[in-house]
Structure 1
Amino acid sequence: MQIATWNVNSIRTRQQIVTDWLKQNPVDVLCLQETKVRDEQFPLAPFESLGYHVYISGQKSYNGVAIFSKEPVTDIIFGFSPILGDNLVRDFDEQKRVISGVIDNIRVVNLYVPNGSAIGSEKYEYKLGWLALLKQYLQNLKENQSTEICICGDFNIALEDKDIYNSKNKAKHIMSSPVEREVLQDVLTVGLQDAFRKFTTEEGHYSWWDYRAAGFQRNRGWRIDHHYLTPKLYEQATKCWIDIEPRKLEKPSDHAPVVVEIEQ
């Protein structure tokens, strides 16, 4: 099974890029972030015509997540609340950032982690609170479901210095501050491992490049899009790679798709 994650930065803007990519790379599952469209306006037909079942959770102009799957997805869960309850989640589900479902006995959890804007800001505190909820959500899934878990998406965190083209001033930069890294590491203690780093340990591999200052052309990137796997899936993973080809196109997303291959 091949599972891809891709922050497309508006599905309507990148519709042709995504459909062309799927024709060339017919992955079993594609998880999208930043779809930026209400559910009733999501362009379903082009992807259904390629043989995908489409599951969406969107909002106007911001955020939004979706799962495309060649096989029907069961037990779809939107947001944190169905697992953790409204009292604990409060308003964190107002932003559409979480969708998950079961495919071939794997629960695929598709995430768009908040960016955080600036260290110490309200959005930064929101990000840390959101990640704390994520840990509880994953713990609940592991304790109460028998499926293996693949958590993927745009995490908006570079976990190691080698995930950044230049780690100078990392402690003062959003997406690499010590607290963000510590909180994500704490999330991973529920029993998750980085699929990409199983196969590629060296620096210089990124999944996001700023549109400004020729970031992609100069390979000034960050690796912030990840697949984290429970132990059995981690052992079954045979490959994980970043496909930079779509980033070379005209008017691309600023992110590239990341694909993990699992032999079941």
Structure 2
Amino acid sequence: MRLATWNVNSIRARVARTVDFAVREHIDVLAMQEIKCKPEQFPYEAFEEAGYHVVAHGLSQWNGVAIASREPIEDVETAFPGMPGFAKDHDGPDAPLEARAIGATVGGVKVWSLYVPNGRALGDPHYTYKLHWLEALAAHTRATLAASPDLPLALVGDFNIAPTPADNGDPAVVEGFSTHVSPPERAAFADLEAAGLADVVRPLVPAGFTYWDYKRLRFPRNEGMRIDFILGSRALADAVTGAAIHRDERKGEIPSDHVPVVVDLDLASPDDDDDVPMIFG
């Protein structure tokens, strides 16, 4: 199975690019974020003509997530247990849920396409929401893997966190003053890993950014950030045979500001290949 994640930054504006990439790169499962449309507005036909099934979750022209797959999509969920909501000037546990998560089972793999809240600014209510959202995601991950320790589980998407200083090359994002690089955000990312997940791309692709701001020539100067990830359970990590960050997808006409991240999985064989880096210690 070839699994990919991509923040497409409006699927209706970039459907041709997205489908072309999926077909050209032989993607079996594509998790998308920031589709910016309701399900009834999603351009299903272009994907279906290319041989994909699609499930989408969106509530407005903001946020939104989707999964496209060549195999049947089963057990679809549009929120994980405990996922908090958010609305401006709305405090409390009954805040409306945003369209930031969609989970499904494909070929025996449980895949979550996730668009983690941005946080906006340190001290902003959206920053607190982001941390609560990540805390709930870690709790759900722990519970899932405690119940099914051999489950091939993939949490993929735009995490809006640069986990290490090397993952931030944007001079406008300053540690101590900006979101994405604050100690609490990085601790929340580490907590996800401690819940039983590993970044299954980094051992094979140790360097490289996945996002570049449209402004100030960030892409030509390679002043980007690594904020898009594929986090996998041990069962998924053991099946990884290859990985890539497709930097060239940031080029050309009307590109997204993010690029696809891809892993190859051999789910029929255990991880006994000495040529594949050990992902779990």
TM score, norm. by length of structure 1: 0.93
Counterpart position of 2:203: 198
After superposition, the Cα gap between the structure-2 partners of 1:93 and 1:131, relative to the gap in structure 1 and judged at 3 Å, is farther
Percent of aligned positions with the same letter in both sequences? 38
Counterpart position of 2:220: 217
Match of 2:152 among 148, 151, 156: 148
Match of 1:109 among 109, 112, 116: 112
5+ long unaligned stretches in structure 1: none
Counterpart position of 2:64: 64
Counterpart position of 2:253: 250
Counterpart position of 2:182: 177
The amino acid across from 2:179 in the alignment is I
TM score, norm. by length of structure 2: 0.87
Counterpart position of 1:259: 262
Q: Does 1:29 align with 2:29?
A: yes
Counterpart position of 1:53: 53
More helix by share: 1
Counterpart position of 2:89: none
- Residue 165 of structure 1: CA displacement? 1.5
After superposition, the Cα gap between the structure-2 partners of 1:208 and 1:24, relative to the gap in structure 1 and judged at 3 Å, is same
- Residue 85 of structure 1: CA displacement? 8.6
- Residue 91 of structure 1: CA displacement? 4.4
The amino acid across from 2:116 in the alignment is V
- Residue 139 of structure 1: CA displacement? 1.9
- The alignment yields a C-alpha RMSD, in angstroms, of 1.9
CA distance in 1, matches of 2:95, 2:211: 25
**2:176 aligned counterpart, secondary structure:** helix
**2:241 aligned counterpart, secondary structure:** strand
Cα offsets for 1:94-146 (capped at 9, x unmatched): 21011111112211111000000001111100101111111122122223345
Counterpart position of 1:19: 19
CA distance in 1, matches of 2:248, 2:63: 24
Q: Does 1:119 align with 2:122?
A: yes
- Residue 171 of structure 1: CA displacement? 2.7
CA distance in 2, matches of 1:175, 1:74: 33
Match of 1:239 among 242, 254, 258: 242
